[in-house]
Amino acid sequence: MNEHVALITGGAKGIGRAIALDLAARGWKIAFCYRTSETEAQTTASAVADRGGTAMPIRCDVSDPLAAKRMAAQVEETWGRIDVLINGAGPYHRVNLFEETVEGWHDMFNGNLHPIFYLAQAVAPGMKARRSGRIINFSMANADQMTAQPDVTAHYIAKAGVLILTRTLAKLLAPHGITVNAISPGFIDSGSAPPAELAAVVKRIPAGYIGTVDDTVAAVRYLLSDEARYVNGANIQISGGWGI
């Protein structure tokens, strides 16, 4: 990877922001999208520049297929390539299945699963032409268990779908020098959950503590490294043993 260009969805805050800052420290060009977090996006862009990277914050609703593809085209037109796609956007809400609305149900698939399909189609041609590329998709630590989830049903099904889509993309793109893998976090202190909620779940985590964004960044760093060139279609759980 010569130019080191990454596109990160959900990169304005949380895990996505931590990944962007890690890549920035190595001089990467980083495009990241956000929907409403404009203040956080500008703060992240400044932090990327401070660490030696180049930032391109883009307001984009990746649940819109045309918007997602326009975003990818904008990055390629500006920087000439996309070496890495990290699908980090993953909205969720808690509501009992029988109280869920049709709109809420569709939102979970539109936000968590469908954008991976849209953006894979958008970035694959360039990656194929260069015969190199990395795609990392975010699922959740127990999505492969297929257990009942009364309060996060649609989100859970979408995250299980992410794993199937990851493996399918890995099989299709491996002949072109492209790897596609998933990372499945458990409880991570990324700023999205109240401290009281995290403290309440510690007893359910075999490792006995909450993970940090650095734990997730380390997995991303590995999957982007030459050491992971033969790792394809994998699902790395970052959960301290929760969800297995």
Residues marked as catalytic: 156
Q: How many CB atoms lie within 10 A of CB 167?
A: 17
User: Cα separation of 202 and 206, whole Å?
Assistant: 8
Task: Tally helices (H) and strands (E) across the chain.
Answer: 8, 9
Sheet order of strands, 178-185 included: 54-59, 29-34, 5-9, 84-87, 133-138, 178-185, 235-238
User: Cα separation of 44 and 138, whole Å?
Assistant: 20
Q: How many CB atoms lie within 10 A of CB 172?
A: 13
User: Cα separation of 215 and 167, whole Å?
Assistant: 23
Length of the chain: 244
User: Cα separation of 113 and 17, whole Å?
Assistant: 20
